[in-house]
Amino acid sequence: MSRFLSKNYEKLVPYTPGEQVNEKVIKLNTNESPFPPSPKVKEVLSEAVIDKLNLYSDPELKELRKAIAEQFDVTPDMVFCGNGSDDVLAFAIMGFCGNGGKLCCPEISYGFYPVYADIFGVELEQIPLKDDFSIDINDYIGKGKNIVIANPNAPTGLALSFEDVEKIVSSNPDNIVIMDEAYMAFCGESCMELVKKYGNLLVTRTFSKSHSLAGLRVGFGIASKEIIDDLNKLKYSFNPYNLNTLSIKAAAAAIADNEYYDDKIAQIVKNREYTVTELKKLGFKCTDSKANFVFVSTDKISAAALAAELRKKGILIRYFNKAKIDNYLRITIGSIEEMQTLVAAIKEITEA
Ligand SMILES: *Cc1c(COP(=O)(O)O)cnc(C)c1O
């Protein structure tokens, strides 16, 4: 630490991203898609677009917001885009909870929520999950605080029903409820249509997982026009050009290509069912994941040791050295070949 860092940030504990590597490995540690993005993405990233990079990107993101609005049957003024959904979450937590506001989230959930709470001076309550890792919605009914929940939750993969989400949203009318639907494409029940009914709901999504574009950094939030106006006010006070021209074009092309992505998502869901079935045969416990990862444990070997052994075999998965989940592993669902290799490697390690 230098002598110059503001006192406010001395104690900050940053988010730890999963490892990115150059070696050739089977990479099942950061919930990326094993598939390349839609071919339409390549088509729109033409030389003509590159030649125009001398100009600033469109701060209003008109093309992209329109394409997203069409997909979700809302108006473009209900769409806010960010440099990854992390950017959207950051603006929302800063804007609606910052400087002493109150926020609650599940104790075991996306690791970025506590970091944002910390950096923006938010009073955060982390609410324990039930023993089976599910969320007890009674903990959030009429809570009287802002709420952020990942649905499906990470790293458990467990999802809340549409009805339960509506109960949470409707019982907290004077607070913002952020539903982080980063993994919703993989078969949960989205609450997106509720943004038209409830002015306190913000739903966030990302191109990183379901749309094979983690490296592009695009995410978005959908909410009432008033909430989106607030987010834009913050954005224009901080970083008006938060998306670059290439990202805007590429993401707009991707979101319109349902045919391509529906097929890829269906394959991932199928590979997830395969992986759960095979791991259960090997005696693993698996949560009922609705995401593009599974959350598993075994009595045969500690999670830390299994992750280390798999690494030696060139397979990366995610181990969290954190109370209550330190005997669990989060394994991203890759291609069927990758999952077959994983299952064979786990079999070899656990039956040795
Ligand atoms: C991956 C992830 C995000 C952020 O993704 P971006 O790449 O920033 O769009 C947000 N929430 C959860 C729960 C995630 O797992």
Determine the pLDDT at residue 343.
Answer: 98
Residue 154 Cβ inside 6 Å of ligand 1? The answer reads yes
Q: What is the pLDDT of residue 2?
A: 94
The answer to pTM > 0.95 is yes
For 176-214, what is each residue's pLDDT tens digit?
999 999 999 998 899 999 999 999 999 999 999 999 999
* Residue 11 near residue 312 (C-beta atoms within 8 A): no
If you average pLDDT over every residue of the chain, what do you get?
97
Query: Minimal CA–CA distance to 289: which of 300, 279, 281, 302?
Result: 279
For residue range 225-239, list pLDDT tens digits in order: 999 999 999 999 999
Ligand 1, residue 219: give the atom nearest the CA: 9
Q: Which domains does the chain have, with CATH numbers?
A: 7-36+259-350 (3.90.1150.10), 39-257 (3.40.640.10)
pLDDT at 306: 98
Q: In angstroms, what is the C-alpha Rg of the chain?
A: 20
Q: Which residues pair with 134 in a beta bridge?
A: none
Q: Which residues of the chain have pLDDT under 50?
A: none
Q: How close is the Cα of 73 to the center of ligand 1, in Å?
A: 23
Distance from C-alpha of 108 to C-alpha of 253, rounded to nearest angstrom: 35
**Is-contact 98 121, C-beta < 8 A?**
yes
Give the position, in ligand 1's atom list, of the atom nearest the Cα of 83: 8
Q: Is 164 in the pocket of ligand 1 (CB under 6 A)?
A: no
Q: Report residue 95 as tokens.
A: 């804007």
Any atom of ligand 1 within 6 Å of the Cβ of 116: no
pLDDT value of residue 287:
98
